[in-house]
Structure formats: structure tokens, C-alpha cells
């Protein structure tokens, strides 16, 4: 089967891109997708930690209302607004991850896709779609409708 014939031009494997290169580009893309998931987890960590900090504020208020000033002051002094690792709040961890790892990773992946596949993304997935879809089924079309 010639899967290239069925795909839209931006997902056709360019001439000269061999099977090993196609698989290598797929692996590189999958690795980048994994960093995107890791980044999402960092944002989850960031939001959960921020929520916990605001909940500590509620606990401080409630401790004071219950007459426990010493305990409220200890929680406020020791925990509210505390760094999660030395010298860092969670947003700073995300910023460091982005600038040190994620952005360089994405830039290198993009450059290699440009160099080896003329900038065409998801070539392996597009081929898999062609192979795995049920031909002539209305919900298994080869490509999106022309706009």
C-alpha cells in the first residue's frame, strides 16, 4: 500500500526519507511529547502547591479564631509562602525547566525535523493512520475535508 498517496501533502513522507530516519524522527517527536507531559505535571505541582499555601492561610485564620495564636503564628512564620526547594517557589522551577531543558529540546527537535523531513511533522503517525484506518468507512477518512 502506498500510504503517501492517501495523506495530505504536509504529512507525506518526503522523497529520500528512509524507514530508519522515519522511525528516528518518530522517536524524537515522542520524546518531546513526553517532556510536554512532564511540563504539565510541573504545572499541576505548581497549582497544587499554591492551593496548599492559600489553604494554610485559611488554617492560620481558623487557628486564630479558635484562640490558638501561638500555633497560628508558627504556621504563618514557618510555612506560609515558604520556598519549596532552596531559593525557589514553584514558578521558578517551571521557568528553570523551560529555559534549561524544554525550550532547547523543542528547538533541536524542530531543527532536525526541518533538516531531515522538510519540516513535516507527525509522519510516522500519519502513516499509522493510513495503515490502521478502515478504508471507505465514513469515520475513517484519510485526511480532513478541504477548506
**Tens-binned pLDDT, residue by residue, of the chain (147 aa):** 455 567 778 888 999 999 999 999 999 999 999 999 999 999 999 999 999 999 999 999 999 999 999 999 999 999 999 999 999 999 999 999 999 999 999 999 999 999 999 999 999 988 888 888 888 888 888 777 776
Give the count of beta carbons closer than 10 Å to the beta carbon of residue 90: 19
Taking each helix axis from N to C terminus, what angle separates 19-65 and 123-132, rounded to the nearest 10 degrees?
100
pLDDT at position 1, please? 44
| pLDDT at residue number 135 | 83
What pLDDT, on a 0 to 100 scale, did the predictor assign at position 8? 78
pLDDT at 2: 52
Q: What is the DSSP letter of 11?
A: G
Q: Using CA atoms, how far apart are residues 72 and 115, in angstroms rounded to an integer?
A: 60
Number of helices followed by number of strands (H, E) in the chain = 6, 0
Q: What is the distance between the terminal CA atoms of the chain, rounded to a whole angstrom?
A: 27
Q: Is the pTM higher than 0.75?
A: yes
Between the CA of residue 47 and those of 14, 95, 124, what are the distances in Å? 43, 14, 35
Amino acid at each position: 500500500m502506498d500510504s503517501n498517496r492517501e495523506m495530505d501533502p504536509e504529512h507525506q513522507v518526503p522523497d529520500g526519507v528512509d524507514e530508519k530516519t522515519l522511525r528516528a524522527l518518530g522517536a524524537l517527536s515522542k520524546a518531546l511529547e513526553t517532556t510536554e507531559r512532564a511540563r504539565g505535571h510541573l504545572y499541576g505541582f505548581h497549582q497544587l502547591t499554591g492551593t496548599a499555601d492559600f489553604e494554610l492561610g485559611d488554617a492560620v485564620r481558623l487557628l486564630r479564631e479558635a484562640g490558638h495564636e501561638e500555633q497560628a503564628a508558627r504556621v504563618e512564620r514557618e510555612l506560609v509562602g515558604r520556598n519549596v526547594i532552596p531559593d525557589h517557589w514553584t514558578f521558578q522551577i517551571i521557568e528553570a525547566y523551560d529555559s534549561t531543558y524544554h525550550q532547547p529540546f523543542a528547538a533541536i527537535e524542530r531543527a532536525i525535523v526541518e533538516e531531515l523531513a522538510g519540516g513535516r511533522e507527525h509522519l510516522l503517525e500519519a502513516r499509522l493512520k493510513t495503515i490502521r484506518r478502515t478504508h471507505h468507512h465514513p469515520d475513517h477518512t484519510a485526511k480532513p475535508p478541504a477548506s
